Structure 1
Amino acid sequence: MKFNPVIEHLKTYEPGKPIELVVREFGIDPADIVKLASNENPWGCSPRARAAVAADAHLMYRYPDDTMTALKTALADRFGVEERELIVGAGSDQIIEFACHAKLYGGAKVLQSEITFAMYQIYAAQCGAVVVKAPGVAHDLDAMYELYREHDPEIIFICAPNNPTGDCLDRVDIENFIEKIDTDTLVVVDGAYQEYAAYKDRNKAIDPAVLIAKYPHVLYLGTFSKAYGLGGMRVGYGIAQKEIIRSLYKLRPPFNVTTLSLIAAEASLKDEDFVDMTLRSCFEEMARFERFAKERQIETIDSYTNFITYRLDGVTDSTALADRLLKRGIIVRDLKGYGLNAIRITIGRPEENDRFFKTTAKLLDNGTK
């Protein structure tokens, strides 16, 4: 059977190991497994979201409201934009897919940082595009601009904060970069972790309404999977001027977000206390990860997300450490596939983090080089 030749060399996205797989492989009781690999909210989701889903669970036999009016109205009120400047997807990565299919054809090029969210490259490659990468662990906007001038890409991806490293550009630096980009190039600003960045440092905070008002060629992305704790419901959104949204809508399949997912997302937006608790807890616990790293002479990347990256050069091998943690029921993300001898650790609840510190200290003391 013949397939699209593009598929032959396409890499598959590798998510963090699910708890169920660890149970099967190592026979560990699920209650003894700590998952710190997928940047999920360790506190779950808003009680309001759970209550709303429980109250309307009987509606799961109905197709969702394909206009998504209730959620779009809530998002429009939250961000100060018009409903026609919004598109909702099954996770923000579905909107990345829409953007790639809308802009990439005829040998088009995409520009991104070397180490960033893997789905940019995967969706671009599916469209037969050439992916150009600016070197470095963090976004280097000067290098990206030089590559932009050389390659004239159709799409530029900026992840702020960046996944999987956690670093974040200042808002003013992003805007100064966009200012120099021709309006025929779509600039995608991925704000999946923006709630965390804005909480930690207002210089990192991006206002989507201001951004799209100034720049007609920008698509801003947000998600309910992180700070709102709805990773399992798959709801993301894009904000852009109506001309961009109109084009993306032509690629959106009907009923792409489920009835209960829409209900959960709308309810979550109304629970600011839950989000505030989530953000406060995250950075209180992150300080513990930073202290642990300093005590162990482990280099960290200053993080504006709900995870932290431990760079392990001169300390141990990241794959060896991740494997040994896994066998003890602690799931972290090995970044060797990104070319880094590092692990990415989701900030968990205090008791989950206690397990990580105790187990990792013992492993390092016993030697994992």
Structure 2
Amino acid sequence: MKFKAALQSLQTYEAGKPIELVVREFGISANEVIKLASNENPHGCSKKVQQCVAQKLASMHLYPDDSFYQLKEALGAKHKVDTSQIIIGAGSDQIIEFAIHAKCAKNDGILMAGVTFAMYEIYGRIAEAKIIRTKSSTHNLSEFTELYKQHSPSIIFLCVPNNPLGESLKVSDIQTFLKQINKECLVVIDGAYQEYATFKDEEMRISVAEFIRDFPNVLYLGTFSKVYGLGGMRVGYGIAQQEIIQTLYKLRPPFNITTLSLVAAIEALKDEEFIKYSLQDCFTQMKQYEDFCRQRGIRYIPSFANFITLFLDGLGDSTTLAQKMLEKGVIIRNLASYGLNAVRITIGTKEQNQRALSLMSALL
């Protein structure tokens, strides 16, 4: 059977390995497996969210409110935007797909950093767009500007903080860059890890309302999968000028998140104390990794997210390290598929981090 030609050379997205797989393959007890590969909140989600979802279980047979009125009201209040400027997705990556299909025709350009979230390219290539990457792995805005002038892309992706590397951009630098971009070019600012960046450095804080007011070609993305601890619920959102949102809605299937996902997201926004604790603990625990790297001369990227990227220059092979740690029940992310001899490690609890670092020290 023949399929779309663009799919022939397309690599499947490599998700972090689930705990169940490690249990099956290596015979390790599930409670001995540590998953530090997918940037989930190690503290789970708010207990208030769990209680709220449990109370809603009897309503699982009912479709959710497809207007997502309550969730949009809460997000609108949080970001100081009108609800007509918000779209809800099954994870923010669904909205990435909407944006690319809405904007890109065959051979239209999509500009992104040299190493960034893989789904930008995957969805782009499905749409038969031209993928344009900077030479630098991280977000080098001088290179972005040069490539923009050279190729006039239809979409630009700025992942701030960047997944899988962890670096970010100052808001002032993003604003300077956006002033050079034609209003017909859609600029997607992927803020999946924005809560972490903002907590660490106020200069990274993106005021969504100001951005979409001053730059009508900006689409901002957020998610409940990271600091809110709802990765398993799959809820993301996009915020932009009403014209952009109305266009994206034409691609949105009905009831694209579940009844329980909707309840969880609404409740998660209310528990600010849980979010503050999660953010504080993340950067407290991250110091263990930074100290480990400095003591052993391991190069790393100072992270503005809930993970850290370590380069194994001359210290070993990332594929071998990730596999050996996997066999011992510690799941980390190998970045060999990005052309890097590096691993990305989610910041876990104190005990999880100590175990991961002890094992890594022995293996290296």
TM-score range, shorter chain: over 0.9
SS in structure 1 of the partner of residue 8 of structure 2: helix
Which deviations, in whole Å up to 9, do the C-alpha atoms of 1:245-266 show, x marking residues without a partner? 0000000000001110010000
Q: Does residue 285 of structure 2 align to residue 285 of structure 1?
A: yes
* 2:195 corresponds to: 195
Unaligned runs of 5+ in 1: 365-369
* 1:243 corresponds to: 243
Distance 2:353 2:4 in 1: 45
Q: Is the 8 A contact 2:106 2:127 kept in 1?
A: no
Which deviations, in whole Å up to 9, do the C-alpha atoms of 1:64-92 show, x marking residues without a partner? 11000010001001110000000000000
Q: Does residue 61 of structure 2 align to residue 61 of structure 1?
A: yes
Q: Is the 8 A contact 2:37 2:331 kept in 1?
A: yes
* 1:74 corresponds to: 74
* 1:14 corresponds to: 14
Deviant stretches of 4+, over 3 Å: none
Structure 1 residue 10 displacement after superposition:
1.5
Q: Which amino acid aligns with 1:334?
A: N
Q: Which amino acid aligns with 1:226?
A: K
Distance 1:54 1:193 in 2: 27
Distance 1:207 1:58 in 2: 38
Q: Which amino acid aligns with 2:274?
A: F
Structure 1 residue 8 displacement after superposition:
1.0
Distance 1:322 1:11 in 2: 20
SS in structure 1 of the partner of residue 255 of structure 2: coil
Q: Is the 8 A contact 2:196 2:305 kept in 1?
A: yes
Give the alignment's TM-score, normalised by structure 2.
0.99
Q: Does residue 232 of structure 2 align to residue 232 of structure 1?
A: yes
Unaligned runs of 5+ in 2: none
Which deviations, in whole Å up to 9, do the C-alpha atoms of 1:159-188 show, x marking residues without a partner? 000000000011111111111000000000
Q: Which moved more, 1:151-160 or 1:315-324?
A: 315-324
Structure 1 residue 106 displacement after superposition:
3.3
Q: Does residue 196 of structure 2 align to residue 206 of structure 1?
A: no
Distance 2:354 2:179 in 1: 45
Q: Does residue 152 of structure 2 align to residue 138 of structure 1?
A: no
Distance 1:165 1:129 in 2: 24
Which deviations, in whole Å up to 9, do the C-alpha atoms of 1:107-135 show, x marking residues without a partner? 21100011000000000111010101011
Identity %: 53
Distance 1:304 1:200 in 2: 7
Distance 2:2 2:121 in 1: 23
SS in structure 2 of the partner of residue 44 of structure 1: coil
Give the alignment's TM-score, normalised by structure 1.
0.98
SS in structure 1 of the partner of residue 355 of structure 2: helix
Structure 1 residue 48 displacement after superposition:
1.4
* 2:94 corresponds to: 94
Structure 1 residue 363 displacement after superposition:
1.3
* 1:315 corresponds to: 315
Q: Is the 8 A contact 2:169 2:204 kept in 1?
A: yes
Q: How many pairs are equivalent?
A: 364
SS in structure 1 of the partner of residue 189 of structure 2: strand
What are the equivalent positions in structure 2 for 1:1-369 lying under 5 Å apart?
1-364=1-364
Distance 2:2 2:323 in 1: 37
Which deviations, in whole Å up to 9, do the C-alpha atoms of 1:303-341 show, x marking residues without a partner? 000000111102111111111111100000011111111
Structure 1 residue 137 displacement after superposition:
1.9
Which deviations, in whole Å up to 9, do the C-alpha atoms of 1:264-317 show, x marking residues without a partner? 000000000000000000000001110011111101101000000111102111
Distance 1:289 1:195 in 2: 20
Q: Which amino acid aligns with 1:351?
A: E
Distance 1:97 1:111 in 2: 15
Which deviations, in whole Å up to 9, do the C-alpha atoms of 1:317-368 show, x marking residues without a partner? 111111111110000001111111110000001111111111111112xxxx
Distance 1:117 1:4 in 2: 23
Q: Which amino acid aligns with 2:94?
A: Q
